Structure 1
Amino acid sequence: MISFIWSPGNRLPAGTGGSENYTVGQVRELNRRGIAAQVVTVGLGSADGRDDFTDVPFRSLATLAAVSDLDGTVVFVNEPHPVATRHPAYLILHNPPPIRDRYRAFATDGTRDRVLIATSRYAAALWSDFLDVDVATIRVVHPFAEPHFAREPRRASPTGQTRILFAGRLSPEKGIYTLLETLHVDVIDRDASLTFTATTAGSDKPQGRIIEKLLAAHPGIDVVPACKSPARMAALMAAHDVVVMPSNSQYWHETFGIVAIEAQHAGCRVVASNDGGLPETDCGAVVLVEPDNAEALAWGIRAAVGQGPPTAAARQLASAMYTVAESVDTLLDVLAGPLPVPPAVILRQLEELAMVPAREAGERAPA
């Protein structure tokens, strides 16, 4: 059994972000292959989000300490809780390292004896610097687009119209405020051929509810309900031409950007910030722009519109990249491979070496 430990005390929400899609998709694909896997939640009982994922096995534990009793492979998602496990445990680092001191100690201590997995080469380097460990000890298992995105038929746009979608969470780090600024840049603000849509993903959180109201009041953007399944999100993307990802780079760096590959599999062009792991998502249809720059985003949208829709052949080529099968193959290789030496072991060995008495002056080394 492979158990993915979701953030304790938090339900697994549907349709709100990459770490959720990644976790559920991995579990779904593992079970599809006959490999037992489950999502493990803590402290919520059956009210842990499982109702939105009826095809995915869930298990709820009363306390975090109960993780110690799980047999098989334990994979922590995002949060490096220092709880003992029966076998060496893994940690998938979906988020960038914390910037505030009160979280830095938690992140450092909790990763000391875990086998670390990053979601991009960028994220591996970022965490390597943060933890002061060899980047080779952090394995990379890329996110993926579910098969629905490549299979979904495209919806033709009205003549002369370009449909633009913001499909990220309604939170500042996803660049929603940059998009709002862009709507008023003269490069696009008087162009009636451009239509903008955002979903309510993330509106279950306080800041998301505020942002949803801002969008609802804006005459230049439509708001549609969040999509809680890959099939529904694929259908929404296939009804749009360009997906924008103006991720904030001031205090947040997107470690990968699963929305970008989902959009390209669905036949969209993507305009994304040239920051973090987003450049790694390029399947042939990404336009990179300066982050936190409304003018740059506006011109990026212009560039994407000017390129026209990807051809059927280009979409097929994009859909062969970052597949769930490839991602799970890589994960299984990591789980089956030799374990890298965790940072805690390296530190302990260095401390032991430092305790070895120095040779007396003139003492010869043994032959």
Structure 2
Amino acid sequence: MISFVWSPGIPLPAGTGGSENYTIGQVRELNRRGVDARVVTIGLGEADGRVEFQDIPFLAVATLGDLGGLDDTLVFVSESPPVATRHPAYQMLHVPPPLRERHHRAATAGTRDRRLIATSRYAAALWAGFLDVSLDTVHVVYPFAEPVFASRPSVAREDGVTRVLYAGRLTPEKGIYTLLSMLHNDLFQSDGRWSFTVTTAGSDKPQGAVIERMLRTHPGVEVVPARRTPAGMADLMAEHDIVVMPSNSQYWHETFGIVSIEAQHAGCRVVASDDGGLPETDCGALLLVAPDDAEALAQGILVARRQGPVPDATRQQAGERFTVTDSVDGLLAVLRAPRTPTPWAVIQDLEAIGRLPAVSPPHERPLLPEPPQPTGKTT
């Protein structure tokens, strides 16, 4: 049994981010292949989000300590609570290392005895540096776009309006304020050739609720409900031409950017910040711009418009990259690989060896006698 351990005390929400989509999609594909897999939640009982995922097995445990009794291969998702497990556990590194010093020790302690899995080469290098471990010890298993994104036909229109979608969470690190700043750019003011749509993803959190209220007052933005399923998001993307990902780079670095590959599979051009793991999401329709720069974002959108619709051949090729099949193949390869000691285990073993007593008391070796000197006589 492969059990994906969700963050303690937090329900698994539907349609709010890449970590959730990655986890659910992995479990669904593993089960389709006949590999037992499930989601494990902590401290919530059955009010843990399972109602949103009728085809996904869930297990609710009461406390972190209960994880130690599971005879499972545990894969911790995002958070890394320190807890003893029966078998060697794995840690998914969906987010960057913590920003605040007070959180550093907890992140280090929670990951030190786990096999590490990052979602991009960028994230692997970032975490290897943060944890002071060899890059070779951090495996990369890329996220994926569900098959429905590549199969939805784009909605053709002849009104000359370019439709731009922001589908990230309503949080500062996802660049929503860069988008708002860009909307005041003279390139878009009083121009009926554009429409801008933002979903309510993340508005269930306090800061997201504030940002949603701001967006609803903007005359140039249409706010639509967040989509809770891959099919719903695929339908929404099929109605748009460009998807923007103006991720913040001041204090947050996108480790991958699953929305980017979903949008390219759906036939959209993507304008994203040239930062973090976003450059690794290129499926043939990605345009990178300077991060935290409203003017650069505006110019990128203009370039994407001039490039026109994504050619059918490009979209078909995009749909063959970052598939759930590839992702689960990569995950199983990591889980089935020979289990080498973690860097922390090696350090512990070396320190234990250093504390061992000497095999025998130290003693001085006697000096060897001097060899006889030649006399110079011959016989």
Matched, 1:325 2:339: no
Alignment of 1:43-54 (within 5 A): 43-54=43-54
Q: Distance in 2 between matches of 1:361 and 1:262?
A: 70
Alignment of 1:177-216 (within 5 A): 177-216=177-216
Q: CA deviation at 1:342?
A: 1.1
Q: Distance in 1 between matches of 2:316 and 2:30?
A: 24
**Partner of 2:60: helix, strand, or coil?**
strand
Residue 144 of structure 1 aligns with which residue? Answer: 144
* Residue correspondences, number: 364
Deviations 1:44-91 (A, max 9, x none): 111111111111111111111111111121100011111111110001
Alignment of 1:159-170 (within 5 A): 159-170=159-170
State the TM-score, normalizing by the size of structure 2: 0.93
The answer as to whether partners of 1:157 and 1:240 remain within 8 angstroms in 2 is no
Residue 269 of structure 1 aligns with which residue? Answer: 269
Q: Which structure has the larger Rg? A: 2
Deviations 1:246-274 (A, max 9, x none): 00111110000000000000000000000
Residue 310 of structure 2 aligns with which residue? Answer: 310
Q: CA deviation at 1:356?
A: 7.1
State the TM-score, normalizing by the size of structure 1: 0.96
Q: Distance in 2 between matches of 1:157 and 1:171?
A: 31
Q: Distance in 2 between matches of 1:363 and 1:228?
A: 77
Matched, 1:247 2:247: yes
Q: CA deviation at 1:348?
A: 1.4
Aligned amino acid, residue 43 of structure 2: G
Aligned amino acid, residue 9 of structure 2: G
Residue 351 of structure 1 aligns with which residue? Answer: 351
Deviations 1:319-340 (A, max 9, x none): 0000000000000000000123
Q: Distance in 2 between matches of 1:158 and 1:185?
A: 26
Deviations 1:295-338 (A, max 9, x none): 00000101111111111111000000000000000000000001
Aligned amino acid, residue 200 of structure 1: T
Taking a change above 3 Å as real, the CA distance of residues 325 and 363 of structure 1, as seen in their structure-2 partners, is farther
Aligned amino acid, residue 6 of structure 1: W
Q: Distance in 2 between matches of 1:158 and 1:171?
A: 34
Residue 81 of structure 2 aligns with which residue? Answer: 81
Q: Distance in 2 between matches of 1:181 and 1:39?
A: 39
Q: Distance in 2 between matches of 1:362 and 1:328?
A: 61
The answer as to whether partners of 1:137 and 1:340 remain within 8 angstroms in 2 is no
Aligned amino acid, residue 155 of structure 1: V
Q: Distance in 2 between matches of 1:120 and 1:363?
A: 57
Taking a change above 3 Å as real, the CA distance of residues 363 and 273 of structure 1, as seen in their structure-2 partners, is farther
Taking a change above 3 Å as real, the CA distance of residues 115 and 363 of structure 1, as seen in their structure-2 partners, is farther
Residue 29 of structure 2 aligns with which residue? Answer: 29
Residue 97 of structure 2 aligns with which residue? Answer: 97
Q: Which runs of 4+ in 1 moved over 2 A?
A: 187-191, 349-364
Aligned amino acid, residue 106 of structure 2: F
Residue 281 of structure 2 aligns with which residue? Answer: 281
Residue 153 of structure 2 aligns with which residue? Answer: 153
Q: CA deviation at 1:341?
A: 2.4
Matched, 1:57 2:31: no
Q: Share of identical aligned residues, percent?
A: 64
Residue 2 of structure 1 aligns with which residue? Answer: 2
Aligned amino acid, residue 105 of structure 2: A
Deviations 1:119-171 (A, max 9, x none): 00000000000001000100000000001101111111342111000000001
Q: Distance in 2 between matches of 1:8 and 1:104?
A: 18
Structure 1: 5+ residue runs without aligned partners? Answer: none
**Partner of 1:328: helix, strand, or coil?**
helix
Taking a change above 3 Å as real, the CA distance of residues 341 and 189 of structure 1, as seen in their structure-2 partners, is farther
The answer as to whether partners of 1:157 and 1:239 remain within 8 angstroms in 2 is no
The answer as to whether partners of 1:254 and 1:275 remain within 8 angstroms in 2 is yes
Q: Distance in 1 between matches of 2:227 and 2:78?
A: 23
The answer as to whether partners of 1:254 and 1:278 remain within 8 angstroms in 2 is yes
Q: Distance in 2 between matches of 1:104 and 1:121?
A: 21
Residue 227 of structure 1 aligns with which residue? Answer: 227
**Partner of 2:254: helix, strand, or coil?**
coil
Aligned amino acid, residue 295 of structure 2: E
Aligned amino acid, residue 76 of structure 1: F
Q: CA deviation at 1:187?
A: 2.3
Q: Distance in 2 between matches of 1:116 and 1:246?
A: 28
